[in-house]
Amino acid sequence: MNNLPQRVEQTYAFGGAPQGGPPGGPLPPRQPAGAQFVPGQEKSNDHNEREMEELKRSVMRYKQQSKKQKKVIEEVDRLLRCEVYPDRQGKRAFFIESLLEVFLSEHPDKKRTAEELRVADEVWDGEEPPIFKTSYNMATRSIALRRLLNTRPLASATLRTVSRRSQQYRSISSTMPSQGAVPQPSAGTAGISYPMDHFSLDQPTSTKNFLNNQMVESKTDKWIDVNDPATQQVVTRVPETTSEELKAAVDSAQKAFPGWRNTSIIKRQQIMFNLVHLIRKNMDRLAASITLEQGKTFADAKGDVLRGLQVVESCVNIQSLMGESVEVSTDMDTYSIREPLGVVAAIAPFNFPAMIPLWCLPVAVVTGNCLVLKPSERDPGAAMIIAELAKEAGLPDGVFNIVHGTHKTVDFILDEPRIKAISFVGSDKAGEYIYRRGTANGKRVQANLGAKNHGVLMPDANKNHALNAIAGAAFGAAGQRCMALSTLVCVGEAKNWLPDLVERAKALKVTGGFEQGADLGPVISPHAKTRIEGLIQSGVDEGAELMLDGRGFKPDKYPKGNWVAPTILGGVRTDMQCYQQEVFGPVLVCLNVDTLDDAIELINNNKYGNGTAIFTQSGATARRFQKDIEAGQVGINVPIPVPLPLFSFTGNKGSILGDLNFYGKGGIQFYTQLKTVTALWKHEDAVATRANVEMPTHN
C-alpha cells in the first residue's frame, strides 16, 4: 500500500483499489478539504493547463535533484502513478514516450540491446518490453519505465529535453484513450488468454483438483455450477471432490512433509520471493478471474490480490520470528525453536478469492507445513491460478494441494486425524460448526466470523473526507467485506449530513465489474440478493426511514445480474433485524445518538468486534474512543482499518473463535509449535588445541 496515494491508503485499506477508477488504469485524485464530490466530472481546459504547468515545474525540479538519484526516481514514480483522471492519460503517454525517445537518442549504443530489451524483466520472453509498445496499457508501461529508471537513472540533460517537449502536450490530445476503453491485459500475462469482459467466454470449463503439484480432473459425478453474478452465465463447474481424492490430497501432503520441514528457511524464503514475482506478473489474470466469478470491479479485484500479495511479501523475512536464544547461566543456553505442525488446512470464503488463500498459504508453507486448501465453491478460479504460480515458484510436490466441494469436503477436513490445524473465514453458523467439531477432534482452529462494523461520525469531522470515506467503505465490493463499514452512528448534529451522504451514494456507478468507471458490481448470488432485500424491507417495516432504496436496480447491459444498488436506512434502532444481523450487502444503517459516550456504549453492546472507525478532528476525542472501544481494529479517520502484515488481523468478541490471529506474528504462532531446549557445554571441557610436552606428574 505504500505506493498508493494517501487517500486511497486511508479509505481502501482493506478492499484495495478504489471503486471509481477504471480497471487497470488511473485512480481518482485526492479531494481537497471542502471540495465537492462529483464522480466522473470532466476537468476544464484551465485545469488541464494548470496541471501542465505543475508537470513542467516537477520536471524542472529534476535538474536541481539530478545528483540525488533516489529523489529523482521517487519524483518520476509519483508522476507516473495512476492517480489521475482518464483525460490525463494522453499526458502520461506523452511523458513516457518523451523519456524513452530522449534516453535512447542520448545512448544510441544501448538502443534495443539485449539488456535493454529485457530490463523490465525476463517475463516478456525476448519480446520488446511494453515501454516500446503502444498496445499495452499505461499502467503496465509505467511499471516497466520505473524499472528502467531504477537500472538506468536519466541524466539531467534528458530531463531538460523532456521539459521542453512537455509543452507540446496539447498537440497530442488525439492520443488519449476513449472513456469507454476496455482494460487490456498486462505484459506479465502475455501469451495467456483469459476473459476481460462478461460476454466473451465461449464455453464453461471444469475446475480441477490440485494434487501433488498436478491439475487432476475429478472423477466425481456431482458438479456445482459457478455463475457470473453479472449475467448468470456459467463460468465453470466445480467438483464435489470424492473421498478417494480427498484422501489422496492428504496422502500427498503427508508424504511431502518430512522433506519440506527439513528444507532450510532460506530455501523456503527464496520460493516466496519467486511467488511474489509471479503474482505481480499475473495480477491482471487473477483480478479478471475474481471479477468474472465473484462480481467485484476489476480495480477492487486487483486490491483483493494486492492485500494477499503483501502477506507473501512479509513471509520473505520471518527468520527472526522462528526462535530465540538466551545464555541463562555460564555455558548454559536456553533457546526456543518454532517447528511446523505438519499437514494443515484452510477453508476460504467467496468474498476474497485471492486474499484469504494468500493469508494462509505463504505463512503455512514458509514455516514448514504442507497445506490443503478448500476454496469457495462459488469462485475457485483465483485459488487455482495461485496453485499454478506456487508450483512455478518452486514449491515441491505435495506441499500445496487444493480440493473442492461443500459440506462433505468440510467434514473430511474436520475429521481427518492427519490434519493438525484449520483456518476458516466465513459466516457465523459455518464458523461455529467448524470450530466446535475441529477442536473436539483435537485440532487447532482459527475462525473469523461475522461482523457489524460501526463508524462514528462526530460533528467536528472533516465533512468531505468523512462522507467520501464512509460511502466507499459501506458500498465498495457491494458491501461484501467482513470489514465493510455497514453501520453509521451519527453523534449530535452530524445526522444533518445524511442527505449529503445519500447524494454521494446515488452517484456511485453500479454495473459489471469490467465496465469503465464501475464503482460496485453485483452481489454473489440470487439468494444473497433476496436475503439483502428482505433485511431492507424488515427495516422499513420496523420503522426505519428508507433514505435511499437500491432494490429493483438493473443496468441495461446486465438485466439478469444480482443487483442491489447502494441503500441507506435512517433512524435505525438497535432492536431492528437490519441492525442485529450482518447484511453483507451495499446497505448502510444509520443510528443517531447524543454524545460520544452514547456511541461507545452502543458499539460495545454489539456482539461483534471486528472493527470500528471514528471521524473527528479532535485528538482528545480520538484518544478517548481508542481507549474505551472494545472492537479489535480501530480506525481514526480511516474507515477500514485492516493492518498490514507486520501486524495481525485482530478482530475480537463474536467475530472470532480461537486464540491466534491471521498473518503477522499471530499467524506464525498458529502454524508452529514451540520447542524449548536447555543445553550445557562447559568451555573448560574443550579438547586441548596443542600437545602438552611437560613431564606427567599424575598429581
Pairing of strands 587-593, 487-491: parallel
Alpha-carbon distance of 489 to 474, in angstroms, equals 13
Cα 192 from chain centre: 23
In the set 482, 490, 578, 590, the catalytic residue is: 482
Cell of 396: 515441491
Nearest-10 Cα torsion for 415, 226, 584, 470: 130
Alpha-carbon distance of 32 to 35, in angstroms, equals 5
Task: Say whether 360 is catalytic.
Answer: no
Enumerate residues 6+ apart whose C-beta is below 8 A from 687. Answer: none
Per DSSP, the chain holds a count of helices (H) and strands (E) of 22, 23
Backbone angles phi, psi at 523, to 5 degrees: -85, 170
Enumerate residues 6+ apart whose C-beta is below 8 A from 94. Answer: 165, 166, 168, 169, 172, 175
Enumerate residues 6+ apart whose C-beta is below 8 A from 210. Answer: 216, 384, 387, 400, 401, 402
At 215, the amino acid letter reads: M
What are the E-state strand segments in 308-414? Answer: 323-329, 332-340, 343-347, 370-374, 400-402
CA dihedral over 469, 474, 477, 478, signed as positive or negative: negative
Alpha-carbon distance of 483 to 452, in angstroms, equals 8
Element (H, E) at 490: strand 487-491
Cα→Cα distances 656→426, 582, 586, 624, 649, Å? 10, 14, 23, 25, 10
CA dihedral over 51, 53, 56, 58, signed as positive or negative: negative
Euclidean distance between the first and final Cα of the chain, in Å? 73
Measured from the Cβ of residue 459, the count of other Cβ atoms closer than 10 Å reads 15
Alpha-carbon distance of 603 to 452, in angstroms, equals 9
Cα 414 from chain centre: 28
Candidates 225, 259, 524, 272; CA nearest to 386 is 272
Cell of 651: 478482530
Q: What is the set of active-site residues?
A: 482
